[in-house]
Amino acid sequence: MRYVRYHHSGEDRWGVLVGEDVIQPLDNRPYMGGRPRGTPLPLNAVKLLAPCEPTKIVAIGKNYQAHINEMEYVGPPKPTLFLMPSTALLHPDSTLVLPPKSLTKQVDYEGELALVISKKAAHIKPEDISEYVLGFTCFNDVTARDLQIEDGQWTRAKGLDGFAPVGPLVTDEVDPNNLRIRTRLNGKIVQDANTRDMIMPVADLVAFISEYITLLPGDVVVTGTPSGVGPMKGGDKVEISIEGIGLLRTFIEEREEA
């Protein structure tokens, strides 16, 4: 199934995408027993929303060797977990207004595969994860690179409002271990990799996280970026596309200094 969350007629709803351009509304969240109900809508009649309602976003750093190399991270390539606040979420096809230059001078894109949790997950086994995952989506792990380097940990660098664009849909119809993932900056390909190159594959990653942190329905897990990260500036358009999922587009604007 391919799930979307959308705004229509003053309401935020979940639905299922039928074909390429029709939404069948659901009467509840898909991970809370939502059933098809109501009249189907054309996709172009709605505003798509971030397809998740997380209590937390759990992400991983250093999950592709080529990215570890480009960042010159030292030490063993051990996955590093970090949390992002839900206030960082940004809907598909939205504008990210960059923080003023007095706060950060370099804001990078990081194209990543993400997944949405469907069931409370604590101490789960890798072979059981399909029971706990609603599906997969595209994510831009936007990073204030100067703050990340200055702080030595990543909360401030990755937690700003709008630093977590996600979508456009969540699908369980893909194999997360073999997906081409690409990022385009103003139409030019800047990241081009395959999820098979993850150091810790998706199932192991979710099981690993669940040993320490209980994941709840609607939570998001983000799986790390391949190489090719770089800065964004006002007027840019960033598109993250993952095979079998779709394309997440974000427009970048600069804010005037107060």
Closest distance to Mg ion from the beta carbon of 225 (Å) = 4
The residues of the shown chain that bind Mg ion, judged by CB under 5 A, are 110, 141, 225
Report whether 43 contacts 17 (CB < 8 A).
yes
Kindly give, in sequence order, each residue whose CB lies less than 8 Å from that of residue 29, ignoring residues fewer than 6 positions away. Answer: 14, 53, 217, 218
CB of 55 vs Mg ion, minimal distance in Å = 20
Give the nearest residue (CB) to Mg ion: 141
Q: Which is nearer to Mg ion, 48 or 58 (CB)?
A: 58
Least CB distance to Mg ion at residue 182 (A): 16
CA distances from 147 to 29, 73, 105 (A): 36, 16, 9
C-beta of 68 vs 245, nearer to Mg ion: 68
Q: Quote the least distance from Cβ 178 to Mg ion, whole Å.
A: 20
Residues pairing with 96 in the sheet? 252
- For the CB of residue 112, give the shortest distance to Mg ion in the complex, in Å: 6
Q: What's the min distance (Å) between Cβ of 183 and Mg ion?
A: 12
CB of 54 to Mg ion, least distance (A): 16
* SS3 assignment for the chain: CEEEEEEECCEEEEEEEECCCEEEEECCCHHHCCCECCCCEEHHHCEEECCCCCCCEEEEECCEHHHHHHHCCCCCCCCEEEEECHHHEECCCEEEECCCCCCCCCEEECEEEEEEECCCECCCCHHHHHHCEEEEEEEECCEEHHHHHHHCCCHHHHCCCCCEEEEEEEECCCCCCCCEEEEEECCEEEEEEEHHHECCCHHHHHHHHHHHCCECCCCEEECCCCCCCEECCCCCEEEEEECCCEEEEEEEECCCCC
